[in-house]
Structure 1
Amino acid sequence: MKVLEFHDSRDEDYLRLSFEGVFDAQAALESELAPWFHALEEYADGWMPDVTEGKRQRKYARPALWKALEESRDGNSTTLGLYRTRWPDLDMTLLLWLPPRPPKLEVWLKVKPLSFFAEAERCRKLVEMMRAWASRYPVTYARAHSADDAELAGSPRFGRDEKISRKDGFDKIYGVFWLNVFGPKLVEAVGRERVLSTPAHRVEELPNGCVLLVTWPTAADFASDEARLAQARAHAHLRPDLDFDTLLRALRERSAMLAPVEPRFHPDVEPLLLRVVDRTASHARQRRIAELNAWQPPEPEEWRPADSVLPPDVDDPERALERYGDLAEHLVALLHTDVPSVFEETPESLTDVDFYFWREDFPKSRLRENIEAYAVPAIGAYLGEVLVRHLGGRWIPRQKLEEAQVLVGQRVWLPFVRARHYMASCQALLDFSLTRFYRAAERHRG
């Protein structure tokens, strides 16, 4: 069975559900958890897990679940993973804390993409599942919402110090999300009458004193202005010390941050920047696109007019050319596993190299002395070889690598100088990309 790899697929917004309840550790585990699995199986509309994992993967079935929980037991806890082999992506974990620790049942659910929850009926079933769980396993607080929006909201810390947030948890209503379950203690702190009178799509008191609250019919529509109005009304009602207009303004600002932005990148580096934004966390991607739309890569300055070329000053030009080839091979040896196209020495391989170095934060994550001694010469030689191979360039060797030139048309280009500028910082990898350098040389070769 090959499960979908949730975190290996393209990062995009997803539904994130968190649930923390208590259970009876004295009861037989199978009977105590049966209602949890029954609710999952009844209400998981289109996203039901088909693989369970303890120490190994098995097809989803009740006997496999008990086996996985048994083999994963480690002292006072046991964990169960639940996944899918077909779209939509699912990453789900059930964690049980066992005596002598206070018995606790924790659930983390991620379903990607969030757009899967655009249908009201599918969302209603998810709410019913949460209702069944919270009715059977009382919670302090549980919620389901857009992962991107929750990230922008600062959840779960909400601006608190990490130690304080871990100690206090959700001890008061810091935020209201699409689906919320407030535990009895939190309800009493706010006032049960106030909680039950919250203006929202659905408000229901559960038999154990918890209150379930849903702000809007569908989870995927959380960023619409109507949904934001409903979210702000509910939050302001539950927290009368907060200003409605301020809450609504903050919610609208978050919606604006997540609104799609059309990429309009400089054509020389568009293939590189598209990969950069794909690598950006989805909650920050639209802002990153806007930034890169406004950014223009500097025009390459690592060149001279052909009439000011420095003549060769080496005793053996052929040996110098062999040296450049050997240096270029060092880059191939360094990157061939992560960047297979590096063997081809093409313009496209330059973009692949650019992206690799940017993804790895190479100038920051490697020793500076090694970058200067090994990476810069290898990159400069490789870039020069691509100019020679694809633009009809000709090496003009010099004793100093930084003076070595490649003649293309009416300009001589300085690939080793470019490589040094390129490796100065992580931002320099974009400002002085190899791709941009090649495209500039290409335009001027005539």
Structure 2
Amino acid sequence: MKALELHDLKADDRLRLTFKGALNPRVALNRELKPFIRALEEYADEWMPDVISGKKQVQYSSPALWKELEEQRSERTTVGYLYRTKWPALEMSLRLWFPPRPPELDLMLTVQPLSFFAETERCQRFVEMVRAWASCYPVTYAAAHSQADDQLSGAPDFGRDEKTARRDGFDKIYEVSWLNVFGPKLVETVGRERMLSTPAHRVEELPNGSVLLVTWPTAADFASDEAREAQARAHAHLRPDLDFDTLLRTLRERSAALAPVEPRFHPDVAPLLSRVVDSVALHERQRKIAEFNAYQPPEPDEWLPAGSALPPDLDAPVRARAHYSDLAEHLVALLHSKVPSVFDATPESLTDVDFHFWQEEFPRIFERKHINAHAVPAIGAYLGEVLVRHLGGQWIPRRKLEETQVLVGRRVWLPFLRASRYMRSCQSLLDFSLTQLYRVAERHRA
């Protein structure tokens, strides 16, 4: 029973719901949570959680969820994590807070992909679920929207410093999402009559004085021009101090920033750049793709024609080759827990190594003297070993590591020189990637 966890999946936009609702401290917790579980099971349908993850994973059921919350309970809080084993992916954290803090149901719910919510009926069911929760657990503010667009909006701080944002929370309407629940205090701040007259797809007053507002029939269509106009109209109505045209222009700029860009990466580094793109924040992905489409890595020049190869200058070449193998093992020892494929010493493992060093910002984080003394020799030897194993290369030992060569076809390659350039900076990890050198060497081996 393997749960689909979002951090393991290829990055794609998601529908994210943030919901913090008050609990009634005078009601037993198992009774207080029944409306929450009932609405989840009634409306979730195709994205219903089927796994509860704690000390161990168990199949979802309401008794199992309750048991997990009881087992995880401390004096002030308890938490349960729910997932799915099938597409679409779900990540759901349900945290309950107890006195002396104000009793609260704190929910973060994320479904991937956002495109799953392109159907009107499915979106209506999602809205009905949130409506049921907001009717039972009064909120200050709750919202569901594209995660990528949320990131572009500046949520949740909206330009405020962290201390101010934490103190004031959603004290006024900074943003209008696809789905919104405005608590009674926020409604009174805006004016109940004004709130209820908002031009939107759905506006409904809830029994506890909150107001449910949905800007557009479907969540997945949030970036269309029609949906953006509806979003801007609603926001300008609720905040008459803001200009509609300015709001709409900002929303259109966000839509443009999120518009899909077709990857056209340089083929020699495409495997690495694709990994880098998948690792950046959702709202930055399209910009990064466009940047990498224009990127041309320097052509590797860490080679000599075979006829110009430097001759071996060591008396014991067999011992030297064993030394290179030992150095390569140092890289395996360094990375094996985070990059398991490093054991394989394949072309694919070179890309995994490239990505790991880039993600860890290795040249920036670690001291230069240690990089030069330990990392560079290990990386150079590892690259050389992959050239030997997979391209039929032959080591040509030299006293100076940077002069050590690997003969492949009509060229000799200088893996230690490449490793030295590779480790100069974080940008150098891309400009002098191990992936690229291998690809070029592979093309020229004949």
2:127 corresponding residue in structure 1: 127
Residues of 1 paired with 2:240 and 2:158: CA distance? 18
Counterpart residue type for residue 224 of structure 2: S
TM-score between both structures, scaled by the size of structure 2: 0.92
Tell me how far 1:302 sits from its aligned partner.
2.0
Q: Secondary structure at the match of 1:4?
A: coil
Tell me how far 1:157 sits from its aligned partner.
0.4
CA shift digits 1:107-141 (9 cap, x unpaired): 22111211111111111111111112222222111
Q: State whether residues 147 and 282 of structure 2, in contact with CA within 8 Å, keep that contact through their aligned partners in structure 1.
A: no
Percent identity of equivalent pairs? 72
Gaps of at least 5 residues in structure 1 are: none
Deviates more, 1:21-30 or 1:327-336: 327-336
Pairing 1:68-87 to 2, within 5 Å after superposition: 68-87=68-87
Residues 391, 28 of structure 1: alpha-carbon distance in 2 compared, 3 angstrom cutoff? closer
Residues of 2 paired with 1:71 and 1:92: CA distance? 18
Tell me how far 1:329 sits from its aligned partner.
3.2
Q: State whether residues 19 and 107 of structure 1, in contact with CA within 8 Å, keep that contact through their aligned partners in structure 2.
A: yes
Residues of 1 paired with 2:175 and 2:16: CA distance? 15
Residues of 2 paired with 1:125 and 1:88: CA distance? 16
Q: Secondary structure at the match of 1:20?
A: strand
Work out whether 1:323 is the aligned partner of 2:323: yes
Q: Secondary structure at the match of 2:39?
A: helix
2:233 corresponding residue in structure 1: 233
2:170 corresponding residue in structure 1: 170
Pairing 1:13-412 to 2, within 5 Å after superposition: 13-52=13-52, 57-306=57-306, 308-412=308-412
Residues of 1 paired with 2:58 and 2:387: CA distance? 53
Q: State whether residues 76 and 101 of structure 2, in contact with CA within 8 Å, keep that contact through their aligned partners in structure 1.
A: yes
Counterpart residue type for residue 111 of structure 2: V
Deviates more, 1:317-326 or 1:104-113: 317-326
Deviates more, 1:257-266 or 1:312-321: 312-321
Counterpart residue type for residue 42 of structure 1: E
CA shift digits 1:384-419 (9 cap, x unpaired): 333344445443332111122334455433221111
Q: Secondary structure at the match of 1:7?
A: helix
Counterpart residue type for residue 148 of structure 2: D
Deviates more, 1:429-438 or 1:274-283: 274-283
Deviates more, 1:429-438 or 1:270-279: 270-279
Counterpart residue type for residue 155 of structure 2: S
Residues of 2 paired with 1:31 and 1:384: CA distance? 65
Residues of 2 paired with 1:19 and 1:238: CA distance? 21
Deviates more, 1:330-339 or 1:249-258: 330-339
Residues 215, 387 of structure 1: alpha-carbon distance in 2 compared, 3 angstrom cutoff? same
Deviates more, 1:219-228 or 1:97-106: 97-106
Q: State whether residues 54 and 71 of structure 1, in contact with CA within 8 Å, keep that contact through their aligned partners in structure 2.
A: no
Counterpart residue type for residue 295 of structure 2: W
Counterpart residue type for residue 229 of structure 2: L
Q: State whether residues 52 and 65 of structure 2, in contact with CA within 8 Å, keep that contact through their aligned partners in structure 1.
A: yes
CA shift digits 1:18-60 (9 cap, x unpaired): 1122232112223322222222222213122233456655443
Tell me how far 1:445 sits from its aligned partner.
4.2
Tell me how far 1:345 sits from its aligned partner.
3.9
Residues 39, 386 of structure 1: alpha-carbon distance in 2 compared, 3 angstrom cutoff? closer
Q: State whether residues 393 and 407 of structure 1, in contact with CA within 8 Å, keep that contact through their aligned partners in structure 2.
A: yes
Q: State whether residues 51 and 83 of structure 1, in contact with CA within 8 Å, keep that contact through their aligned partners in structure 2.
A: yes
Q: State whether residues 306 and 412 of structure 1, in contact with CA within 8 Å, keep that contact through their aligned partners in structure 2.
A: yes
Q: State whether residues 16 and 146 of structure 2, in contact with CA within 8 Å, keep that contact through their aligned partners in structure 1.
A: yes
Counterpart residue type for residue 178 of structure 1: W
Q: Secondary structure at the match of 1:395?
A: strand
Q: Secondary structure at the match of 2:19?
A: strand
2:418 corresponding residue in structure 1: 418
Tell me how far 1:369 sits from its aligned partner.
2.5
Gaps of at least 5 residues in structure 2 are: none
Tell me how far 1:338 sits from its aligned partner.
4.2
CA shift digits 1:176-233 (9 cap, x unpaired): 0000011111111111121111111011111221111100001111111111111111
Residues of 2 paired with 1:65 and 1:42: CA distance? 16
Residues of 2 paired with 1:154 and 1:76: CA distance? 30
Residues of 2 paired with 1:152 and 1:344: CA distance? 40
Residues of 2 paired with 1:343 and 1:24: CA distance? 55
CA shift digits 1:48-93 (9 cap, x unpaired): 2233456655443343343333333211323233333332222222
Q: State whether residues 135 and 207 of structure 1, in contact with CA within 8 Å, keep that contact through their aligned partners in structure 2.
A: yes
